[in-house]
Amino acid sequence: MGTIFRTILLFIAGCLIFSADPVLGQSGQLTIDTCYALARRNYPLIRQRELITLTREYSVANAAKGWLPQVSFSGQATYQSQTIAFPFKVPGITFPDYSKDQYKLLAEVDQSIYDAGAIRYQQESKKADESIQLQNLEVDLYTLKDRINQLFFGVLLLEEQIKQNDLQRSDLQSGVNKVQASLNNGNAFRSSLDELKAELMRADQDRTELLATRAAYRKMLFLFIHRPFNDTTVLVTPDKLPATTEIKRPELTLFDVQKKSFDIQEQQLKTAYLPKINAFVQGGYGRPTLNFISNDFGFWAIGGIRFNWSLSALYTNNNYKRILSLERNTLDVQKENFLFNTSLTLAQQNEETVKYQSLAEKDQEIIDLRASVKTASAAQLANGVITSHDYINQVNAESQARQSFILHSIQLLQSEYNSHTTSGN
């Protein structure tokens, strides 16, 4: 029985281990970097990456098939008003009469020998298209970071506000206890106790509202990272980040791959006016055959090298080059405009970081002063020197100071992470 019991315990433990979330654990901690990774992994748009890659593979493979022999079939039946007629006669020789109805079935095998690089550049073009689509996808996925920042820091702010609400309620409860004791001794008024209880109930209402808002934020966050809603999961306050001005956004890579595609298109222009060489074999059946003195149905075959050189593309080649040059210049302007706007946003966010840092430092000084006043007020309330209304004012003043510190501290962190998201670091 002991062995069986140990086996059952081991089985249950194994199930619990494997059922735990591989990233979060059953009640683990959740960092903002983990949220970034999970949101990216589970966002529906990420499935488009595989589709883009498969499309490129098929397109490149199709282009490569241009080197395979090209087989074609054709046929025709005609009736003509005249045929070959010999205007003379040769003794001992009878010339055939050619039928005015003629028939022809053809099969041709064509093999490219030299295509001036058309197939190679077509493959390169398909690969460039894939790179552009994948980088566009990266740009779209990168915007998830902004959403995660808003939700993650929103949850952190609400959790800190809930903690501060608990402290405020504790101070109010302490006041209620002091006034209750004074009332029992006949040294306080019932109205003072009622005022404190009413303020405590209002604080309870604030807590209920904060809890509901936090639950909504957490639910939205967990929907983004595709994890079940779990109240035991703890969001880890991220570390501070240094200021940054270097821009490494995925849009910059997108500009680069788009410019590379223009280089490939310019190379493709050459293939339009360079000569092409093919080998071909043609077989047919019909009437007449290649034997022009026969009017009978029959088979025939012909093979050889076909040379084709069309110079008409030269008429438009320079204009196409100018168009590509204009598109490159347009892309450069777009890149410059993107860098300019991103730099402006980054500068603004860095200024906000400095502002919140200064506000948080002042908030801490105010908290120390308000806490000292509140402590003195608690003693004065117990001795009947001040009214419950005065005590409530001091409790609320300290609570407001702490709320400001919490708000500015979270805003400071969020501004740091926003600037890093804006810069792409």
Position 230 scores a pLDDT of: 67
Q: How many domains does the chain have?
A: 1
Residue 3 belongs to a domain: no
Task: Give the domain CATH number at 417.
Answer: 1.20.1600.10
- How big is the CA angle at 39 (ends 36 and 45), to the nearest 5 degrees? 130
Residue 16 belongs to a domain: no
> What pLDDT digit, counting tens, does each position of 56-79 carry?
676 777 777 777 788 889 999 998
Question: Token match 């308000």: residue?
Answer: 370
Residue 293 belongs to a domain: yes
The whole-angstrom separation of Cα 275 and Cα 119 is: 14
The whole-angstrom separation of Cα 85 and Cα 295 is: 12
- Can you give the pTM of this predicted structure? 0.73
For residue 155, give every residue at least 6 positions away whose Cβ sits within 8 Å of its Cβ, in sequence order, or none: 214, 217, 218, 221, 235
Residue 406 belongs to a domain: yes
Tell me if 355 sits within 8 A of 363, measured CB to CB.
Answer: no
Reading the block at residue 23, the tokens are 């990233």
Give the range of the structural domain holding residue 162, as residue numbers without chain letter: 35-80+99-423
Residue 314 belongs to a domain: yes
Between residues 88 and 77, the one the model is more confident about = 77
Residue 30 belongs to a domain: no
Residue 24 belongs to a domain: no
Distances 225 to 146, 151, 153, 180, 220 between C-alpha atoms, Å: 14, 11, 15, 49, 9
Q: Over the chain, what is the mean pLDDT? A: 82
Residue 18 belongs to a domain: no
> What pLDDT digit, counting tens, does each position of 8-18 carry?
333 333 333 33
> What pLDDT digit, counting tens, does each position of 93-142 carry?
777 777 888 889 998 888 888 887 777 888 888 888 888 888 888 888 88
